[in-house]
Amino acid sequence: MAPIPGSGLAKGLAVTLRTMTKKTVTEQYPDAQPDLPPRTRGVIGLFEENCTVCMLCARECPDWCIYIDSHKETVPAAAPGGRERSRNVLDRFAIDFSLCMYCGICIEVCPFDALFWSPEFEYAETDIRDLTHERDKLREWMWTVPAPPALDPGAEEPKEIVTARKTAEKLAAAQAEPAPSDDPQGEES
């Protein structure tokens, strides 16, 4: 059976009329900020105090968009007669977001929790060369990272917290015990 001439046009107009009568769901972005889901991947924030310059993030990055420079610094001995130690000091930590594919491998491999996902998404630049952000900007984004979700009420308490609580209880018990006095006058003969 041959199609009726103009039936395609009628179907198209029906879809258009149906869509025209519905309320729009478009949000006017600059005026109204979007409600982002809790696990939104925006940019990567750096918690510089936790970074030990182990270079795992830069080595594991498939795009090679993380640039890290450091130098060694000698730390004097903590106790007399001890030996000096050396440690890495972070000079530069930069991420080129024009190359980054937001895979999150750098965040997953960081053993010291120095990198976090920030929901910040407004970091557009007019020049592509300005998309390489240094550690100062990454540190600013760190403070936009949301707090981790609460633990499941039925879950076991983390072993670190249990150990810390036991240690604190032992210290409190040791401080509560009266110290034996060396004062011979207080003793009865």
Cα torsion 125, 129, 135, 140 to 10°: value is 0
pLDDT for 64-103, tens place per residue?
Answer: 999 999 999 998 988 888 899 999 999 999 999 999 999 9
- Using a 10 angstrom Cβ sphere, with 0-12 exposed, 13-18 middle and 19 or more buried, the burial of residue 141 is buried
**Strand spans (E) along 22-164:** 43-46, 66-75, 85-96, 115-118, 132-133
* pLDDT of 23: 86
pLDDT at 187: 53
All residue ranges of the chain with pLDDT < 70 are: 1, 178-189
- Residue 126 is predicted with a pLDDT of 93
| Spatial distance between the Cα atoms of 107 and 51, rounded to a whole number of angstroms | 12
What six digits make up the tokens of 11? 């179907």
Contacts of 52 (CB under 8 A, 6+ apart): 87, 88, 112, 114
The single residue listed with the structure tokens 């965040």 is 107
Taking a C-beta distance cutoff of 8 angstroms, is the pair 106, 68 a contact? no
- Would you state the pLDDT for residue 189? 46
